A = this chain, B = another copy of it.
């Protein structure tokens, strides 16, 4: 079975689980709160935009890791739905916090409705995520259900902690390079680590296996973020400034930028002079590359990629699901490049 085979089998079942879970809202709501949730999940069209779902990478990671740990992947459906809804709850709130008007080519929830309704819809999505996970009680056991709930709540504390740092960093002129890690550990790595740990938890694997799976997701998250940051400056659309996709324009405190600031050379002095325009993008990106930021970021991404793949081997996955996970990891790390 290739990744594609697995995805073809698992993704429709995951989508059905998501659809069922979000549908519970209708039992509690006499208004149209459900419509906001369904729109965000990409199940309903908007004007000329078709319905556009996310890639559902996280729930797929959960079901694949369950299979790779020797478990029955269908038992993981409640947590697979749970992590995807947590991811989507955080997107709804992040879009407000970052003032983002668009997501996947469509208006964000706060833009299409308003900020108060979008905050509240995010809270509802968050609650549905946890309700999804509770079903584990009847599918696996009370003990595993409670462990999964605990793991997800702790993950959410890490998410909010990372998001808090990200928001506060926006208003700081200078940041040391080390400030990067607690932010991305919370914002990106924590949820992926939870996804890969939930698999062996559902499969009732031993602690060592759980730890190896967890580290696989964690390192994968960090590699993914470093690479995403690299492409945020040297990717094709970033260099041309198309749709202001360059982190140099949005002034995101990304890894290469923090590296450049720590070098404190020509890039840093240009940065301190204020906004960088589209026409300057290639020049400033060149400055940053000349000071070693690109090479440094690539090295970090490579290190974490190697660590992720080593950890996956160390987890001794069931061969077919394991190689599908390897494929998924490579796919993730090739995104946008």
State A167–B115 Cα separation when bound (angstroms): 10
Interface residues of A, count at CB 8 A: 51
With contacts A93-B119, A117-B167, A167-B120 known, is A130 near B146, CB below 8 A?
no
Q: How far is the CB of A186 from chain B (nearest CB, A)?
A: 8
A95-122 interface with B by 8 A CB criterion: 96-98, 114-117, 119-122
- Residue pair B33, A154 in contact (C-beta under 8 Å): no
| Interface pick from A1-9, A155-163, A262-270 | A155-163
Contact B31 A168 (CB under 8 A): yes
Q: A111-140, CB under 8 A of B: which get 1 and which 0?
A: 000111101111110111011001001000
Establish whether residues B120 and A93, one from each chain, have CB atoms under 8 Å apart when the complex forms: yes
Asked if A134 contacts B150 (CB within 8 A), the reply is: yes
Is A25 among interface residues, defined by CB-CB distance under 8 A?
Answer: yes
Tell yes or no: A51 within 8 A of B by CB: no
Q: Which of B120, B134, B160 contacts A33 (CB 8 A)?
A: B160
Does A24 sit within 8 A of B, measured CB to CB?
A: yes
Q: Does A57 make an interface contact (CB < 8 A)?
A: no
Does chain B have a CB within 8 A of A165?
A: yes
A245 → chain B closest CB, angstroms: 21
Taking CB atoms, residues of chain B closer than 8 Å to A93 are 119-120, 123
Indicate whether A330 reaches chain B with its CB closer than 8 angstroms: no
| A144 CB, nearest partner CB in chain B, Å | 11
Is the beta-carbon distance between A157 and B124 smaller than 8 angstroms? yes
The residue on B at minimum CB distance from A155 is B127
Q: Are B156 and A123 in contact (CB under 8 A)?
A: yes
Asked if A48 is at the interface (CB within 8 A of a chain B CB), the reply is no
Contact of A127 among B33, B157, B167 (CB under 8 A): B157
CA distance A31 to B142 in the complex (A): 35
Q: With the chains together, A165 CA to B120 CA distance in Å?
A: 11
A123 — which chain B residues lie within 8 A by C-beta? 90, 93, 122, 126, 156, 159-160
Chain B residues with CB under 8 Å of A143's CB are: 142
Contact A146 B153 (CB under 8 A): no
A73 nearest CB across to chain B (Å): 23
- Selected A-B contacts with CB under 8 Å, 24 pairs: A29-B157, A29-B161, A30-B182, A31-B164, A33-B161, A93-B119, A96-B115, A97-B115, A97-B116, A97-B119, A97-B120, A120-B167, A121-B160, A121-B164, A123-B156, A123-B160, A124-B164, A127-B153, A127-B160, A130-B149, A130-B153, A134-B150, A142-B142, A142-B143
